[in-house]
Chain A
Amino acid sequence: MIEVQQLRKQFGQLVALDGLTFNAPEGQITGLLGPNGAGKTTCLRTIYGLLKADSGKALIDGFDASEQPLEARRHIGIFPDKFGLYERLTAREQIAYFANLHGLTGAQGDQAVSTALARLDMLAIADRRARGFSQGQRMKVALAQSIVHSPKHLILDEPSRGLDVMSTRILRDLLRELRSQGTSILFSSHVMQEVAALCDQVVVIAAGKVAAQGTTEELCALTGETALEEAFVKIIGTDEGIAA
């Protein structure tokens, strides 16, 4: 379970997070929906402890990443906003690097890497160096890195960027499968359809605050609209920075 309590974060004059509170329970996919610049990435970075909140806290299984960063990070898989690959390493080596860092070494590590590769349908490119990988292939490597240690929590920052239809399907199937295994999944997106198709719970954030929270149906009911997109526009009061 990921708990975010009253997070506040300010960069100079800019208030990025303004008392953000929500939960991402186990066995559920929680979507963080918001326009560009709403504070999604800042929120996720604060959860895994790269940014320090001015006040409030974020707990991963009860561990505060700002106080026990290593303990907290052991329990999460991260697909960050920016991910770069090591061009001179093969896909398998990159994924193995992260497996090793999570304590999976030797045969255990090899096994975990192979499982992750198979799960994302990457065996064909597993032993190729990352130089020359397509955007979709890069996304897959980054995804595999985030799930190779079978984390209990998965945090993804806009995971479907640049994926083709087939890859998007693989991603969705993967997330559903992980959900059924009890993983708590938190992902940010500004793509409405994706959120509508996947999420059990949607947290709409705008200007660093939770504007609304609930299932797709609840949000629609709340605003009296039938489509999530309309509901969303109504909630945040503008259609700026949203992709349908």
Chain B
Amino acid sequence: MITQIRIVWLKELKDALRDKRSVMAAMSYAFFGPLLMAGAFFLLISQLTSEKDVEIDIRGGDYAPALVQHLNNLGIVERSEPWPAGKQPITLDIDASWAEYIATAQPAKVTLTADFSAQKQRADIRRVETAVSSYAQQLGVIRLQMRGIDPNAMRGIDLVKQDTATKGSRAAIMMGSVLVFMLLSVFFSGMNVAIDISAGERERNSLELLLSQPLSALQLVWGKTLAAGSFAIFGGLLSVILIPLIFRYLPLHEIGISVAIAWPMLLLILLTLVPLAFLATAMQLFVSFRAKSFKEAQTYISLVLMVPMLAVFGVEFARLKNQLLYYLPLTGQHQALLDIIKGESIQWLPLGVSALVTLLVSYILIRLIARMLSSEKVVFGL
């Protein structure tokens, strides 16, 4: 029994490893996926951290050099180039009466001219407004102090903002998408092999002879599942190793995020992915053994791939919270991985149950495929 499975397994592995397309497919997802994501994050971080200067027109700056200095300190500077076409100028107009009003402690007149409905300039306008009003506030404080009044009398309420987002939980939101990558890696990496050893076997007309050999359909399916499963696990391993490596080179600390996953945790993630790899492979073999050609199988499998994607993204975006999710295949692994990454305590029982359920579903699928291969209708497409 075991010998026959091993023979099929080793032969399929050898065959698949010589198939550049299969190897590339397994590698590229795990390899280029995280790289792509790192690129996207890098862009996001640089946008969040480096605030560019706002360049505006300042008229009458000579009347109020201190205000202009204040604006410059806040990154609002006099524009040197003309405004590009299609962009409304933002103009700050300081009235010639500035000195006079300041001297008499009256509100000095400053005009901000801009297109307040322009979506793209809204942030810039806002920064100018904030900068001007903060200067006005400083003026007010000084005026009150000069009259011997505590400036705090002006402040009725002190609103204290407390951000409860810890570094870890903010990272979790970001890592949620990374996790989806890790989870799906086992679905993508073994896919090509799964198609090749099922629909491919049929397409190249070798299935009939193979089924006439002294091995049971179940042994055959086990051997093939192990072969494609090996690829899936390999893809999972690559992404589990590569993602943290790549993230180490991202300046995540600049936006207050720390992603440090300890090696034992990575090992745990990998172990969590193993049952999932078998489920993925069993599902793929189940569909593509029904297909008559490689192409047909690819069509079916791309539909089947929607299942894990919808499940994972659905939970991710809908922010579903239900204890049941911890026990089911796929969502169970997803939740466990989320907990691991957030640094929360791992719910071992649900994790174990979902692993067992996943393996059980895979086992049932494998039995079903074996039964399918014992049916002349499926084998000969009658």
Q: What residues of chain A have their CB less than 8 Å away from a CB belonging to chain B?
A: 11, 45, 48-52, 69-70, 73-74, 78, 80-89, 93, 97-98, 100-103, 105, 142, 145
Identify B214's interface contact among A73, A85, A86, CB under 8 A.
A73
Residues of B within 8 A of A80 (CB): 208-209, 212
A235–B226 CA distance with the chains assembled, in angstroms: 53
Report the minimum CB–CB distance from A79 to chain B (whole Å): 8
Do residues B382 and A11 form an inter-chain contact, with CB atoms below 8 A? yes
Query: Is A102 in contact with B15, judged by CB distance below 8 angstroms?
Result: no
23 A-B contacts (beta carbon < 8 Å): A50-B211, A50-B212, A50-B376, A51-B376, A51-B380, A70-B214, A78-B209, A80-B212, A82-B205, A84-B201, A86-B204, A88-B19, A89-B11, A89-B14, A97-B7, A100-B11, A101-B8, A101-B213, A101-B214, A101-B215, A102-B213, A103-B214, A105-B7
User: Which label, helix, strand, loop or mixed, suits the secondary structure of the B interface?
Assistant: helix
Docked CA distance A87–B14 (Å) = 12
| Interface residues of A, dominant DSSP | loop
Measured in the bound complex, the distance between the Cα atoms of B206 and A97 in whole Å is 13
Question: Binary interface profile of B, 351-381, with partner A (CB < 8 Å = 1, else 0)?
Answer: 0000000000000000000000000100110
B10 nearest in chain A by CB position: A100
7 residue pairs, one from A and one from B, having the closest CB atoms: A84-B205, A84-B204, A84-B206, A82-B205, A88-B18, A73-B214, A100-B7
Give the residues in chain A near B211, CB-CB below 8 Å: 50
A100 to B8, CA, bound (A): 9
Given contacts A82-B205, A87-B204, contact A93 B14 (CB under 8 A): yes
Residues of A within 8 A of B18 (CB): 88-89
Q: Mark B1-16, 1 if CB is under 8 A from A, else 0.
A: 0011001100100110
Beyond A70-B215, A88-B19, is A101–B209 a contact (Cβ under 8 Å)?
A: no
| Residue tally, chain B, CB below 8 Å to A | 26
- Chain A, Cβ-Cβ closest to B375: A52
Smallest CB gap from A65: residue in B: B212
Chain B residues near A93: list those with CB within 8 A.
11, 14
B298 CB–A CB distance under 8 Å? no
> A78 CA to B213 CA in the complex, in Å?
9
Partner of A73 from the list B7, B213, B376 (CB cut-off 8 Å) is: B213
Whether the Cβ atoms of B216 and A70 lie closer than 8 Å is: yes
**B-side contacts of A49, CB under 8 Å:** 212
Choose among B11, B201, B208, B213 the residue with the greatest number of A CB atoms under 10 Å from its CB: B213
Interface residues of B in 195-213 (CB under 8 A from A): 201, 203-206, 208-209, 211-213
Contacts of A51 in B (CB 8 A): 376, 380
Tell me the residues in window 4-44 of chain B with beta carbons closer than 8 Å to chain A beta carbons.
4, 7-8, 11, 14-15, 18-19
A residues near B379, Cβ cutoff 8 Å: 50
Contact of A48 among B15, B212, B382 (CB under 8 A): B212
**Is there an interface contact between A83 and B7, defined as CB atoms closer than 8 Å?**
no
CA distance A65 to B205 in the complex (A): 22
B216 — nearest CB in chain A belongs to which residue? A70
A50 contacts B208, CB within 8 Å?
yes
Give bound CA distance, A50 to B377, whole Å. 10
Instruction: Report chain A residues within 8 Å CB of B209.
Output: 78, 80, 83-84, 142, 145
A93 to B17, CA, bound (A): 14
- Known A50-B379, A97-B7, A101-B7: A85·B212 in contact at CB below 8 Å: no
Interface pair A98/B205, CB less than 8 Å apart:
no
Contact A73 B212 (CB under 8 A): yes
Chain A nearest CB from B277 CB (Å) reads 23
| A81 touching B208, Cβ below 8 Å | yes
Chain A contacts for B376, CB-based, 8 A: 50-52
Provide the residues of chain B in CB contact with A73, threshold 8 Å. Answer: 212-214
A43 to B254, CA, bound (A): 74
B7 vs chain A, min Cβ distance (A): 5
Shortest distance from the beta carbon of B196 to any chain A beta carbon, whole Å = 10
- B3: chain A residues at CB < 8 Å are 103, 105
B215 cross-chain contacts in A, Cβ below 8 A: 70, 101
Which residues does chain B contribute within 8 Å of A70, judged by CB atoms?
A: 214-216
Q: How far is the CA of A48 from the CA of B211 in the complex (A)?
A: 10
Chain B hits for A85, CB < 8 A: 204, 206
User: Do residues B204 and A98 form an inter-chain contact, with CB atoms below 8 A?
Assistant: no
Return B363 CB to nearest CB of chain A, in Å: 22
Beyond the given pairs A84-B203, A101-B213, A101-B214, 7 more chain A to chain B contacts, judged by CB atoms under 8 angstroms and listed by A's residue number, are: A51-B376, A52-B376, A80-B209, A82-B205, A88-B19, A101-B7, A142-B209
Q: Are A101 and B15 in contact (CB under 8 A)?
A: no
Cα A98 to Cα B210 in complex, Å, equals: 9
User: Do B15 and A98 touch (CB < 8 A)?
Assistant: no
When chains A and B are docked, how far (Å) is the Cα of A11 from the Cα of B382? 8
B214 touches A74 (CB 8 A): yes
Alpha-carbon gap, A166 to B281, bound state (A): 45
Which residues from chain A contact B201 at a C-beta distance below 8 Å? 84
Expressed in whole angstroms, the Cα–Cα distance for A73 and B380 within the complex equals 19
Alpha-carbon distance A137/B8, docked complex (angstroms):
24
